Amino acid sequence: MKKHYPRGIHKAIADGIGADDLNIRLAALDDPEHGLSEETVNATDVLIWWGHCAHGEVKDEIVNRVHKRVLEGMGLIVLHSGHFSKIFKALMGTSCSLKWRVAGEKERLWNIEPSHPISQGIGEYFELPHVEMYGERFDIPQDGRIIFISWFEGGEIFRSGVAFERGHGKVFYFRPGHETYPIFYDKNVLKVLGNAVRWARPLIYLANTATNVKPLEVIHSQDPNNVSVGAGIAQNAKGNG
Ligand code: ZN
């Protein structure tokens, strides 16, 4: 990994997608609160997540913080082995399992949604000469929009770019990114990441709260034995329904 990314994958990505309209900060597992303090998360529009062996070391408190913020509107881009991260599994609700093989084979990524914001500037397909293979079945929900499908030299296929919405937030999973290959210097990979950041950027943040509300109109059929607030209609007194 150090051979291709002497200063880390996060720095290579930041350098590769850097642009005037992006203000990029770096965060790492070893940083206090993994670099994702409440203040930082709340000041972040789009979070890119790469992780591999240390998913279990990510504190649940931080995962919950990121999860809540995605549901409020923050964009999240999950890369490669991040398919097994706590945050991605929490957002998908499935095992996110897949097949894999490290043989340094070729990958061809087909752009099957050429009108989507994430695939702008990408041709009909692009290729990566040496990759780790990920194969189907990839256990993700069916509500994502598939942007890229990969073919591998060894014969497998994989849904390599899938766009989801979770709450008010946009989530994009992008497959390439094994740490022993220089994937994050590839111009097409960087183009997709830059596009994805701009696609996932929220227009608005909305807090998700359960509120016990009064009715707008008089409720004539009100059950006097089951009222939680004045002339309220909610049957769940604590608003947790
Ligand atoms: Zn890998």
Neighbouring residues of the ion ligand 1, judged by CB less than 5 Å: 81, 132, 178
Coil, strand, or helix at residue 80? Answer: helix
For the domain bounded by 9-200, which CATH number is listed? 3.40.50.880
Instruction: Give the pLDDT mean for 198-213.
Output: 94
**CA–centroid distance, residue 203 to ligand 1 (Å):** 33
| pLDDT at 236 exceeding the cut of 80 | no
Q: According to the model, what pLDDT value does residue 1 have?
A: 81
Nearest to 29 by CA among 59, 6, 2: 59
Percent of the chain with pLDDT over 90: 88
Classify residue 233 by its DSSP letter: -
Average pLDDT over residues 178-195: 97
Q: How close is the Cα of 137 to the center of ligand 1, in Å?
A: 17
Q: What pLDDT shows up at residue 231?
A: 46
What is the Å distance from ligand 1's center to 175 Cα? 9
Average pLDDT value for the chain: 94
Burial of 218 (0-12, 13-18, 19+ CB in 10 A): exposed
Determine the distance separating the centroid of ligand 1 and the alpha carbon of 126, expressed in angstroms. 19
Between the CA of 202 and the centroid of ligand 1 the distance, in Å, is: 29
What SS3 state is found at 22? coil
Phi, psi of 163, rounded to the nearest 5 degrees: -105, 125
User: What's the CA-to-centroid distance between 228 and ligand 1, angstroms?
Assistant: 53
| Per-residue pLDDT at 208 | 85
H helices present in 26-72, as ranges: 38-42, 60-72
Q: Which H or E run contains 169?
A: strand 169-174
**What pLDDT was estimated at residue 224?**
82
How close is the Cα of 101 to the center of ligand 1, in Å? Answer: 9
pTM higher than the cut 0.85? yes
Q: Does residue 211 register a pLDDT over 60?
A: yes
- Give the distance (Å) from ligand 1 centre to CA of residue 152: 15
Residue 233 pLDDT level (bands cut at 50, 70, 90): very low
* pLDDT value, residue 160: 98
Give the Cβ contact number of residue 204 at 10 Å.
7
Instruction: Record the tokens describing residue 73, joined without a space.
Output: 């509107």
